[in-house]
Structure 1
């Protein structure tokens, strides 16, 4: 490993003041998952901290080292939730005032958790960046001390005590440790400690595919700023990693694995099956990465360890998690199948499925010659979906695998039977609306007056943004105006006109 910089993080970690507030969390085996994937899987239970997240370690270590006069002036931080709870809890322990600036889209469970611990909450903006800018304004106005969520040596050292505990709890061989990455504080601190004492252990970072600021920064050789970040795993939704965390992660990480929403949902289910505990999406991120790495490498008989980094889950988000977990676990395939619109076709189709369990079946008559069926089928491995599609096509049924089609999973399964071939000039877009009052009105206000909405589907998934499918009748001559509208609106969107799920079930 390359030589470290002047800051002696080993000493900082060994002398970190965390246990006045935090606890040493257990390292638990996951027997069900271990048996399923053929490796010994260990889970570091940071979700069992007093604030249900490892963030307490860095926050308390940072606050406890402030001079008395700074504590008396109070502290301010910006956070999407977990760091906020760590600061609030630490400030309460130390008897100082805390102001937490949080994005307006922060899940209510995290806002309420901060308030219960005596901190003042200020909701501002839609992202961490907005909250941070406002927090810095308050620092200038009040003279309070800003407590960074990740890019601070004392915070990094506090998080590094997770690595210290792991090596003490498990002195036997560990092939790899998987750690979630948002701003990079946990990965930097844990990675530094592990690589100094056990350089043979691989330290692998895990990021969501739509919030991969650290991976892109390491590839570019400098910190990059993402234009947008996915909000499902709000605990790691960071547009730019820290300067110090970037420096350290470049040295200590062996690689970074990317996973999607379905994989995180599947990992949440894995933890529940083994422990009856429910992690938040970012809390299950490392385990999702572990599973993806093990599958990619064909690993067998290895000891693999993941950090369960948080459990601040909004209850209403569970409906989305449960819906997507089967796909994330590769236990469900979503297919579009075209069969003849004639008696006996459906029975023949079911006979081809054999003894496979059907998890969902949607159909509505729309064509005199063909029937388009949306069907969910139980599988045991992802490859079985491709095999089933091949078998159905060989039997004369036109089958299409939609398991990885976001539009199909989010919207089509709730809209089957809504074909409207008489609608002219329909353009279909999938949007992410900020989950706040006025988001829809803002969309309608900026939309062209002469454009008719021909399709609209919204379903609350308990996330920080609403997933919306919109069809608009826009004459070809006005498509340039439509593009201006989309650019000025500022919402993330995707053109779905060429999506085969739209053509089969809605077009």
Structure 2
């Protein structure tokens, strides 16, 4: 896959580094479990490599400890610095405790308290700095330089890559038969690189499929450009893989060894979390289910039976308060729920007729608010209904429902795949705005004290806020929908303030779900 000639990968050196990595001083040999429900559904043998069962509930412990074990005596005396918002931090903290090394872990101020507490429980000092990983990383580099500490990188380090490669070493020892493909999640690339170099050295016929979130596909971007490429923005739901740029060292291996990169969206990840739960009764984090989501999508695109696939469950550091959001989105990701916006007559009996057209299907959500039978100009006014319907037949049944409603004379819009409708509109059904001109934007706020105040001080002093919706999902960033009353002549000044705010945003004024239910645009 390389666009330029590269020296061949020295497999023997990598195999030696992986085979001799002393990770079992702290790590467990995790099981390779058969997934009976998934295997039956997908008509193939599905195996799950259970890295969610590590002492820190993530594979990260392997690479972190292997790197720490190779520090010189002088480096151990001076201590180490690591930068992480989660799993790498816990791995480094536990490894440093085992080796008696003083550890400082720099974490963004947005890091959930459960992860901060877990790091402190292993005896490491935590330093909270900035709103993002990049802010924390810059501070970590400064501390390492000022204090003479070694910086333990989460993925862009040969020793870390070799430590992660022990996952593949175990997998190959645990499964003696034919293995058609292995699906591996990718963030910075350390796990995928370490596993790929080992698997290809032992059996080049094994297909290596890297799986990334569609809003953080840094490996796909690097392969397209032939070099690690920094993404302008990454999504935050799959936080364990929310990396803007693939590591240099992992990319040097992956560009030669990975057979395919596949991306999945948040709903598909949520559905995979449920799949794992149904087979194991364990709850993995979004990054932990990423490989399963990619495997399901790959099998759908490459039908066949009687094959054997393995997927790595990379971690289980899930905040409890994210579970409701995961359950809500899993139904859409597995095509178990359809979301529609429907206009029905504002008259007695209209609900009954509407439900008869849906048929004997379970209604999962129903949102409606009365606005009167006639509009301001005296014309008949329809009622706008936001409805969720449980599906058993996936996209085919979804299409059937829409056709049945249209045949009944209803105006129907399918919002099942509309991100704004799923995140915000279902909680906002209320009717049109009386404003002559309104612009709506979706933001991501850092989940830290003062974020709302910063927003209001930047945008709320000059601009009338006409709509504001926020719902916590237990992630490092909050998702916000906000509306503003803005004259056309003021657009340039408003957009300058948006840029000054510094939060990620995208305009949604023309979104059809918002037009229908809150009168935007």
Shorter-chain TM range is: over 0.9
Matching residue within 56, 72, 89 for 1:84 = 89
Contact 1:77 1:135 in 2 (8 A): yes
Give per-residue Cα distances to partners, 1:146-201, cap 9 Å, x unaligned: 11111111110000010111111011112211101011000000011001111111
Q: Give the whole-Å Cα distance in 2 for the aligned partners of 1:24 and 1:307.
A: 13
Matching residue within 266, 283, 288 for 1:283 = 288
Tell me what 2:377 maps to.
none
Tell me what 1:402 maps to.
415
How far 1:409 sits from its partner (Å)? 0.8
Structure 2 residue 399 is the aligned partner of structure 1 residue 386 = yes
How far 1:206 sits from its partner (Å)? 0.7
TM-score, scaled to structure 2: 0.94
Contact 1:179 1:205 in 2 (8 A): yes
Q: Give the whole-Å Cα distance in 2 for the aligned partners of 1:359 and 1:193.
A: 47
Select between 24-33 and 100-109 the one with higher mean Cα deviation. 100-109
Corresponding residue SS for 1:304: strand
Give per-residue Cα distances to partners, 1:307-328, cap 9 Å, x unaligned: 0000111111112111111111
Q: Give the whole-Å Cα distance in 2 for the aligned partners of 1:269 and 1:79.
A: 27
Structure 2 residue 230 is the aligned partner of structure 1 residue 218 = no
How far 1:57 sits from its partner (Å)? 0.5
Q: Give the whole-Å Cα distance in 1 for the aligned partners of 2:262 and 2:159.
A: 27
Contact 1:47 1:309 in 2 (8 A): yes
Corresponding residue SS for 2:23: coil
How far 1:390 sits from its partner (Å)? 2.3
Tell me what 2:453 maps to.
441
Contact 1:336 1:402 in 2 (8 A): yes
TM-score, scaled to structure 1: 0.97
Corresponding residue SS for 1:447: helix
Show the 5 A alignment for 1:139-218: 139-218=144-223
Tell me what 1:461 maps to.
473
Corresponding residue SS for 1:485: helix
Matching residue within 300, 318, 325 for 1:320 = 325
Structure 1 alignment gaps of length 5 or more? none
Q: Give the whole-Å Cα distance in 1 for the aligned partners of 2:490 and 2:303.
A: 52
How far 1:3 sits from its partner (Å)? 6.6
Structure 2 alignment gaps of length 5 or more? 374-380
Q: Give the whole-Å Cα distance in 1 for the aligned partners of 2:52 and 2:66.
A: 18
User: Would the alpha carbon gap of residues 105 and 358 (structure 1) be closer, same or farther in structure 2, given more than 3 Å must change?
Assistant: same
Q: CA RMSD in A?
A: 1.5
Structure 2 residue 60 is the aligned partner of structure 1 residue 47 = no
Q: Give the whole-Å Cα distance in 2 for the aligned partners of 1:435 and 1:82.
A: 19
Q: Give the whole-Å Cα distance in 2 for the aligned partners of 1:382 and 1:199.
A: 37
Give per-residue Cα distances to partners, 1:264-322, cap 9 Å, x unaligned: 11111111111111111111111111111111223433212110000111111112111
Q: Give the whole-Å Cα distance in 1 for the aligned partners of 2:307 and 2:45.
A: 6
Show the 5 A alignment for 1:269-280: 269-280=274-285
Corresponding residue SS for 1:461: coil
Tell me what 1:24 maps to.
29
Corresponding residue SS for 1:19: helix
Q: Give the whole-Å Cα distance in 1 for the aligned partners of 2:226 and 2:246.
A: 13
Contact 1:386 1:401 in 2 (8 A): no
Corresponding residue SS for 2:41: helix
How far 1:125 sits from its partner (Å)? 1.5
Q: Give the whole-Å Cα distance in 2 for the aligned partners of 1:435 and 1:64.
A: 35
Q: Give the whole-Å Cα distance in 1 for the aligned partners of 2:465 and 2:436.
A: 12
How far 1:107 sits from its partner (Å)? 2.3
Q: Give the whole-Å Cα distance in 2 for the aligned partners of 1:109 and 1:304.
A: 34
Show the 5 A alignment for 1:36-435: 36-366=41-371, 368=373, 369-380=381-392, 381-416=394-429, 418-435=430-447
Structure 2 residue 9 is the aligned partner of structure 1 residue 5 = yes
Select between 103-112 and 262-271 the one with higher mean Cα deviation. 103-112
Contact 2:369 2:431 in 1 (8 A): no
Corresponding residue SS for 1:66: coil
Matching residue within 458, 461, 464 for 1:452 = 464
| Aligned residue pairs, count | 506
Q: Give the whole-Å Cα distance in 2 for the aligned partners of 1:171 and 1:214.
A: 30
Contact 1:448 1:482 in 2 (8 A): no
How far 1:144 sits from its partner (Å)? 1.1
Give per-residue Cα distances to partners, 1:65-111, cap 9 Å, x unaligned: 11222111111111121111111000011111111111112222221
How far 1:367 sits from its partner (Å)? 5.0
Tell me what 2:494 maps to.
482
How far 1:421 sits from its partner (Å)? 4.0
